[in-house]
Structures are given as structure tokens and as C-alpha cells.
């Protein structure tokens, strides 16, 4: 499909270039992986017979080069040189890792679809995994080549398993090379987090942010309850350049307003929940995956009320603008604000983070193998290396302590428990990073985004996102 033809369909769908729209077009057959001859070990689209893939052999047109697409600022350069050294010492292979950095799932999807870029390993967010596996862009994995998968904390990150689960994200039913079907794993967790509100603690007290939550975004100014000077909010707030994160805030606030209109006591939970104080709550809050027109309209209405107060939608300046004092309060990802605040250092920055009391979402970034890869064994070695915890290659510890995102690797977590930073800060004691362990009521009011279906994407979500971000 040409870019010109894509833009025609995008205009019909109300989008310019975005992964959600592209994912929808993939499922409709407009955007799929390139139609080049499959390698001999691919017996069905996106399905590998690993008995035909050579082990401990570098393959493909550039066998000594591993090509990776990754989010910005998600690992230190030493991690890549560690892997290159490991491959030389362990297998006598001289390899180089080449990395392209993207700043959004939208950018990644355009690279591998319209852009035709070819990679070995990709790191999409969980709901994007679901979209691109449907479009034929991901291979099934050989877990026998990823022994460190055993380090995953299976009940730690509750990504649903089982192909019959509508929320299933990391597995699918594939044809089996011996006949019938097999349950394939298509992604391995990398790191995870929540979406919430980051703010300047020298401008707005944390207690105020916890009490007001999402309502800040419809305020042009605010006078703190402790008598601090009034702060101007208009043009000093941002939301992320991420459709599903922004819509989540809209759905949660609209859900609160709907409960009030129905005379229902407010609940931030989508399922019945008994909190840590023993108080029972009904599961009456809206999810981040609503599809009915009335709920989408209500979400849209609130977001357009908030839009005049926002400086922009931006996923790279959400935390830097806070630290620089340009912004007062932004939508942000939990690990990003922790990394910006630097609690592991002696002079942390004046910023903090809360999940709004109305609710939000959690998400997970994942390691996957692109169907353009012709170096499958090496790609598996790289994914396995990410979750290594044993000396001398304590790589998951390196990654977790560098980017300050919570790890789904239990072996790494157990190590972190006994290894605080020199200033005494311990990631495993930070409830902003590990609410599932330390703040279960906060965790329970975060739900998991999933595929909302082609019709809703093309006819509801995409036109709304285009209008909202084009104001």
C-alpha cells in the first residue's frame, strides 16, 4: 500500500498517521507486512517451525548485525556493549547491535508498515502487540531459547494468558507444523508502569493532587489549600501524545460524572473491590476500553473542556518540562517521572507522581521479534540477555536501576530488595513504581488497555483523536 493511498484511508478514518489507525487498517487488510517470499522455516504467516531454524548460527543477509527498534532512554549504552561482549565470550561470535530510537508506538508502526523498515527485535506496548500480531508483523517465540523467561513473576504482572481471553495480549493460537493448532507466545515483558499525574511539589501539595485528580485539567488556575500562591495552569499543563492514555483519563472522569448522574456512590474500580481498610466498593467505574457511542461522547466532551488548558500533547517533554519549571502539572508515565525526580540521588528534583483517584491504566512494554528478522537465534539470545540476573551479566539489575522502571523479573526484584542505592533509596519500597505490591487499592483502580475493535477505532477513536490534537 502506498503512502498516498494510506493517507486517503487515514483521512476517511480521521487520522494522519498513527498506530491505532494503522492497526485497524492492518486488520482490514490495507496495511500488512511486505509480500516477499517467506524463509523456509516460516510455514504460515508469522508462524515459525523452530525445528528448521539453525541453533547457535548467525543467519540472514547481515548475520553479524542485530537490528533493534527501541523506545528512547530505555537502556544505557553499556547494556549493548555487554551483549556484544557476552556473545564473543560465550559463543566466539563478533556481533554488533544497531538501534533505531522511536518516541511513540505510532512511529514504530509506521516504520515497519509504510516505511518497510526491517528489524530483528521490537519493543511495542502491550495493546500494540495485539494490533501488530494481527497484521502479521510478529513471529511466535521459541521459549526454549529464552531460559530466563523462568525469571518472570507470573502473578506480578497480570497480563491475561489464554487465547480465549478477550484481554489476551502475549499469546495466540497458531497452526502447528504437525497439524492442528498450538498456543504460541509472541512477547516477553520488558518493563511496566502506570499512567498518572506528575506535578511540582513546590507549587501544589501532594494532598491536593490526590484529592482533586483529573479535575486539574479543566482548571485554568488553582489556589493551593495550604495558602501557597495561586498557580496558573492554563498552558502550563501537558498530556501525553498517546491516544489511549489520553482517552483513559477522559473515560475515568466521564465515568465519575456518569455515576453521579445516576445517583451511584462514586467508585474508581471497574470490578467489585474490598479495599485494605475492609470497605467494599462496587465495580461501577468505566474502563479504559469503552466502545459505546454514549460513553465515547462523554469522554470526548470532558477532553474538549480540558483542551484549552493544555500546552500540547507531548510524550518526550512531560517530565523535562516539569523539572525545568516550565510546566506545573502533566500527565506522565510512572517510571519517567521517577527517573526525572532522581530519588536515587542526594538532591532529588521537586516533583512527584500520583495515580488520580478517579482511576487510570497500567501498561507493559514487551520484547518481540519482527517478521522481517532472518537472524532468529541471535534475536532470542538478545531477549534472553535482557532478563539475565546472574553474575557476571546482571543485566536486568542494570536496566532497572538505570531507567527506574519496575521490572516484571522476580529474580531481579529479589536482588533489588537487598541492594538499595548508596543514598538508601530502594526501588522496591517505592509505591509509585510497585503499586501492585505496596498500594493495592491504587493498583486496583488501574485497568489494562486492550483492542477495542476495528469499527470503534476507525469510526470513533481515530476521528476524535484527530480533532482533539488538531485544535
Residue 35: predicted pLDDT? 64
- Give the CA angle between residues 167, 247, 400 to the nearest 5°: 65
Residue 97: helix, strand or coil by DSSP?
Answer: strand
Q: Quick check: 163 pLDDT over 70?
A: no
Domain range list for the chain: 35-192+365-446
Could you give the CA distance from residue 108 to residue 347 in angstroms, rounded to a whole number? 35
Q: Is 312 helix (H, G, I), strand (E, B) or coil?
A: strand
Q: Do residues 119 and 69 lie in contact, with contact meaning Cβ atoms separated by under 8 Å?
A: yes
Task: Read off the pLDDT band of 19 (50, 70, 90).
Answer: very low
Q: Which of 18-27, 88-97, 123-132 has the highest mean pLDDT?
A: 88-97
Return the C-alpha cell found at 63: 548475520
How confident is the model over 34-91, as pLDDT tens digits?
Answer: 567 889 999 999 999 999 999 999 999 999 999 999 998 889 999 999 999 999 999 9
In this structure, which CATH number among 3.30.450.20, 1.20.1250.20, 3.40.190.10, 3.20.20.70 belongs to the domain 35-192+365-446?
3.40.190.10
Q: At what angle do helices 19-28 and 105-112 cross, to 10 degrees?
A: 40
How confident is the model over 139-150, as a mean pLDDT? 95
Q: What is the predicted pLDDT for the residue at 338?
A: 93
Question: How does the average pLDDT of the chain come out, rounded?
Answer: 89
The winner for highest mean pLDDT among 18-27, 118-127, 179-188, 196-205 is: 196-205
Over the stretch 188-247, which tens digit does the pLDDT of each residue have?
999 999 999 999 999 999 999 999 999 999 999 999 999 999 999 999 999 999 899 999
Pairing of strands 280-281, 329-333: unpaired
Q: Is the pLDDT of residue 157 over 60?
A: no
Among 49-53, 158-162, 458-462, which is the least confidently predicted range?
158-162
| Radius of gyration (C-alpha) of the chain in whole angstroms | 22
Q: Report d(CA 197, CA 378) in Å as an integer.
A: 39
Q: Residue 155 has what pLDDT?
A: 55
Please, what's the b/e burial string for 117-156 (b: 16 or more CB within 10 A of its CB; e: otherwise)? Answer: ebbbbbbbbbbbbbbbbbbbbbbbbbeebbebbebbbeeb
Q: How sure is the predictor about 322, in pLDDT bands with cuts at 50, 70 and 90?
A: very high
| Residue 168 pLDDT exceeds 60 | no
Q: What is the pLDDT of residue 259?
A: 98
Task: Read off the pLDDT of residues 391-445 as tens digits, 9 standing for 90 and up.
Answer: 999 999 999 999 999 999 999 999 999 999 999 999 999 999 999 999 999 999 9
What pLDDT, in 10s, does the model give residues 254-288? 999 999 999 999 999 999 999 999 999 999 999 99
CA–CA gap between residue 249 and residue 255 (Å, rounded): 10
pLDDT-wise least confident of 15-29, 116-130, 176-190, 279-293:
15-29
User: Is 9:457 a contact under the CB 8 Å cutoff?
Assistant: no
Span 314-339, average pLDDT: 93
Residue labelled with grid coordinates 518493563: 191
Provide the pLDDT confidence category of residue 131 given band limits of 50, 70 and 90: confident
Residue 15 has pLDDT above 80, yes or no: no
Amino acid at each position: 500500500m502506498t503512502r498516498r493511498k494510506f493517507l486517503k484511508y487515514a483521512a476517511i478514518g480521521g487520522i494522519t498517521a498513527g498506530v491505532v489507525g494503522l492497526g485497524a487498517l492492518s486488520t482490514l487488510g490495507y496495511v500488512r507486512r511486505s509480500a516477499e517470499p517467506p524463509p523456509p522455516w516460516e510455514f504460515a504467516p508469522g508462524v515459525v517451525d523452530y525445528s528448521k531454524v539453525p541453533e547457535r548460527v548467525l543467519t540472514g543477509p547481515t548475520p553479524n548485525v542485530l537490528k533493534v527498534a527501541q523506545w528512547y532512554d530505555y537502556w544505557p549504552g553499556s547494556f549493548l556493549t555487554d551483549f556484544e561482549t557476552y556473545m564473543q565470550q560465550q559463543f566466539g561470535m563478533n556481533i554488533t547491535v544497531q538501534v533505531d530510537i522511536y518516541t511513540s508506538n505510532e512511529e514504530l508502526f509506521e516504520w515497519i508498515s509504510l516505511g518497510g523498515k526491517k528489524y530483528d527485535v521490537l519493543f511495542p506496548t502491550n495493546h500494540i502487540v495485539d494490533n501488530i500480531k494481527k497484521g502479521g508483523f510478529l513471529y511466535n517465540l521459541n521459549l526454549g531459547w529464552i531460559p530466563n523467561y523462568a525469571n518472570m513473576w507470573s502473578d506480578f504482572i497480570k497480563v491475561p494468558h489464554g487465547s480465549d481471553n478477550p484481554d489476551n495480549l502475549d499469546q495466540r493460537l497458531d497452526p502447528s507444523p504437525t497439524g492442528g493448532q498450538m498456543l504460541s507466545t509472541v512477547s516477553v515483558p520488558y518493563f511496566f508502569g502506570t499512567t498518572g499525574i506528575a506535578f511540582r511539589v513546590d507549587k501544589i501539595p501532594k494532598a491536593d493532587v490526590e484529592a482533586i485528580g483529573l479535575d486539574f485539567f479543566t482548571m485554568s488556575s488553582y489556589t493551593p489549600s495550604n495558602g501557597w500562591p495561586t498557580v496558573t495552569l492554563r498552558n502550563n499543563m501537558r498530556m501525553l501524545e498517546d491516544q489511549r492514555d489520553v482517552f483513559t483519563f477522559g473515560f475515568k472522569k466521564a465515568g465519575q460524572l456518569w455515576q453521579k448522574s445516576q445517583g451511584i456512590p462514586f467508585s474508581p474500580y471497574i470490578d467489585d473491590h474490598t479495599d485494605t481498610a475492609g470497605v467494599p466498593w462496587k465495580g461501577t467505574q468505566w474502563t479504559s476500553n469503552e466502545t459505546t457511542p454514549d460513553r465515547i461522547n462523554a469522554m470526548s466532551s470532558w477532553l474538549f473542556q480540558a483542551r484549552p488548558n493544555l500546552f500540547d500533547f507531548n510524550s518526550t517533554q512531560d517530565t523535562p518540562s516539569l523539572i525545568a519549571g516550565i510546566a506545573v502539572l502533566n500527565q506522565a508515565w510512572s517510571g519517567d517521572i521517577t527517573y526525572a525526580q532522581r530519588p536515587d540521588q542526594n538532591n532529588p528534583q521537586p516533583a512527584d507522581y500520583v495515580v488520580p483517584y478517579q482511576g487510570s491504566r497500567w501498561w507493559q512494554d514487551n520484547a518481540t521479534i519482527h517478521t522481517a528478522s532472518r537472524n532468529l537465534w541471535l534475536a532470542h539470545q538478545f531477549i534472553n540477555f535482557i532478563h539475565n540476573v546472574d553474575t557476571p551479566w546482571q543485566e536486568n539489575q542494570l536496566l532497572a536501576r538505570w531507567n527506574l522502571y519496575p521490572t516484571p523479573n522476580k529474580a531481579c526484584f529479589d536482588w533489588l530488595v537487598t541492594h538499595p542505592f548508596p543514598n538508601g533509596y530502594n526501588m522496591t519500597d517505592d509505591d509509585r513504581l510497585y503499586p501492585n505490591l505496596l498500594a493495592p487499592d491504587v493498583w486496583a483502580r488501574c485497568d489494562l488497555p486492550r483492542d477495542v475493535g476495528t469499527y470503534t477505532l476507525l469510526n470513533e477513536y481515530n476521528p476524535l483523536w484527530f480533532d482533539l490534537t488538531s485544535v
